[in-house]
DNA sequence: AAAATAGCCTACCAAGACGATAGACTATTT
DNA sequence: AAATAGTCTATCGTCTTGGTAGGCTATTTT
């Protein structure tokens, strides 16, 4: 399951995607429109900024805005950043890989199955972007 | 990510699948062979029994055993039981559905995308069984 | 320069989930 | 009766999650 934080992140990003190229948007505006706790949203947006997805401007007329066009931000990137691994097991994760203890990956039915699941999932989230959040 | 509990469950079930129709297997034997904390495994097996996947026998010569043949126990069933929802969002879950607050499911890009992911995942885990764990 | 604006940073907290353990109880077999 | 082996209830420490508080810093306006 995606954490609430991830859901907030996607709501905020969807909002910023709609407002792309229209200048900075206040955290408070996003929080209000998307009904996200303000201070919690601050943390999320800052994290997205540090990852290079968003940028910000301080002072009057400041706020947050997308650092690149919506179709260039992959869903997979955001999920990994805010939610963590996409795979169901560490031993089949690309970005959070960890070797299985007491289990030979070459002969593990669970491993094989979870690898399939991962690929099926990646096939979707690696090929969808913030643009697809706008309907 | 699958919880450690789920991974233990699958290891235990894989072991019992191999020993299908060979009589009851001791918890302690499974715990030792699969390196699972004994008391933790007790809980897991009991849960699987209450769900009808396993059955047990007390006293000498007792132990746990599969209640039906391995190919009749779907992976999806076990995941839902031990790990919880398979979907990434409550609003696209079949067995743990919850309506989205502040979001119209009919016009939500995230919803649509997560529905795709769910279907891709279900397509695998609904069509694989404990039999596929044995390699 | 001062005031106002708005993001940045550090810290903290409550509740719940997770992984694991302890011990007594019950049913079955020898 | 004794031994065996699953069942039940309870507890526990640690980590994660969701959320809050308050001060700091950079920028803009007056």
What is the CATH number for A25? Answer: 1.10.10.10
Q: Tell me which of B66, B83, B108 is where a domain ends.
A: B66
- Whether the per-residue pLDDT at B102 is higher than 80: the answer is no
User: Percent of chain B having pLDDT more than 70?
Assistant: 99
Q: Can you give the pLDDT at residue A52?
A: 97
Neighbours of A129 (CB within 10 A): 20
Q: How does residue B101 score in pLDDT terms, banded at 50, 70 and 90? A: confident
Number of domains present in the structure of chain A = 2
State the smallest CA–CA distance between residue A124 and chain B in angstroms: 7
Whether residue B111 is found in the same domain as residue B62 = no
In chain A, residues with a C-beta closer than 8 Å to the C-beta of B2 are: 88-89, 114
Whether residue B52 is found in the same domain as residue B26 = yes
In chain B, residues with a C-beta closer than 8 Å to the C-beta of A89 are: 1-2, 7
Q: What is the mean pLDDT of residues B82-91?
A: 97
Q: Can you give the pLDDT at residue A100?
A: 87
Q: Which residue is nearest to nucleotide D6 (CA to C1')?
A: B58
Q: How does residue B78 score in pLDDT terms, banded at 50, 70 and 90? A: very high
Whether residue A81 is found in the same domain as residue A128 = yes
CB pairs < 8 Å spanning A and B: 84
Residue A47 three-state SS: helix
The dihedral built from the CA positions of residue B72, B77, B79 and B82, taken in this order, carries a sign that is: negative
Whether residue A56 is found in the same domain as residue A77 = no
Q: Tell me which of B24, B47, B66 is where a domain ends.
A: B66
Q: Can you give the pLDDT at residue A106?
A: 76
Q: How does residue B50 score in pLDDT terms, banded at 50, 70 and 90? A: very high
Whether residue A35 is found in the same domain as residue A77 = no
Whether residue A62 is found in the same domain as residue A84 = no
CA B117 remoteness from chain centre? 19
Distant-in-sequence, close-in-space partners of A3: CB < 8 Å, separation ≥ 6: A82, A83
Q: Can you give the pLDDT at residue B48?
A: 98
Whether residue B60 is found in the same domain as residue B84 = no
Cα separation of A108 and B117, whole Å?
A: 24
Q: Can you give the pLDDT at residue A102?
A: 72
Whether residue B104 is found in the same domain as residue B51 = no
DSSP-assigned letter for residue B100: P
Q: What are the distances in angstroms from CA A44 to CA A5, A29, A89, B54?
A: 7, 15, 25, 44
The secondary structure of chain A in percent helix, strand, coil, rounded to multiples of 5, reads 55, 10, 35
Q: Tell me which of B21, B45, B66 is where a domain ends.
A: B66
Find the CB nearest B121 among A101, A110, A117.
A117
Whether residue A8 is found in the same domain as residue A60 = yes
Residue B129 three-state SS: strand
Answer whether A126's CB lies under 8 Å from A74's CB: yes
B3 at interface of A, judged by CB pairs closer than 8 A: no
Whether residue B57 is found in the same domain as residue B87 = no
Answer whether B75's CB lies under 8 Å from B67's CB: no
Tokens 């998307």: give the residue. Answer: A34
Q: Can you give the pLDDT at residue A39?
A: 98
Low-confidence ranges of chain A (pLDDT < 70): 105
Whether residue B60 is found in the same domain as residue B8 = yes
> Where in the sequence is the domain holding B62, given as residue range(s)?
4-66
Whether residue A96 is found in the same domain as residue A124 = yes
Cα separation of A33 and B134, whole Å?
A: 51
Instruction: Choose among A63, A53, A61: nearest CA to A28.
Output: A63
- Per DSSP, what are the bridge partners of residue A64? A25, A56
Distant-in-sequence, close-in-space partners of B135: CB < 8 Å, separation ≥ 6: A107, A108, A109, A112
Q: How far is the CA of B42 from the C1' of D8 (A)?
A: 11
CA A61 remoteness from chain centre? 26
The secondary structure of chain B in percent helix, strand, coil, rounded to multiples of 5, reads 55, 10, 35
């Amino acid at each position: 399951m995606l954490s609430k934080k991830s859901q907030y992140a996607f709501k905020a990003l969807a909002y910023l995607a709609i407002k792309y190229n229209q200048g900075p948007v206040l955290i408070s505006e996003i929080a209000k429109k998307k009904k996200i706790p303000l201070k919690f949203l601050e943390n999320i947006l800052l994290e997205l900024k540090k990852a290079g997805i968003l940028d910000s401007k301080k002072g009057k007329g400041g706020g947050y805005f997308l650092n690149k066009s919506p179709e260039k931000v992959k869903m997979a990137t955001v999920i990994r950043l805010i939610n963590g691994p996409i795979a169901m097991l560490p031993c089949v994760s690309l970005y959070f890989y960890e070797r299985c203890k007491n289990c030979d990956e070459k002969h593990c039915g669970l491993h094989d199955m979870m690898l399939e699941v991962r690929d099926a999932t990646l096939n979707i989230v690696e090929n969808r972007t913030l643009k697809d959040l706008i309907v």
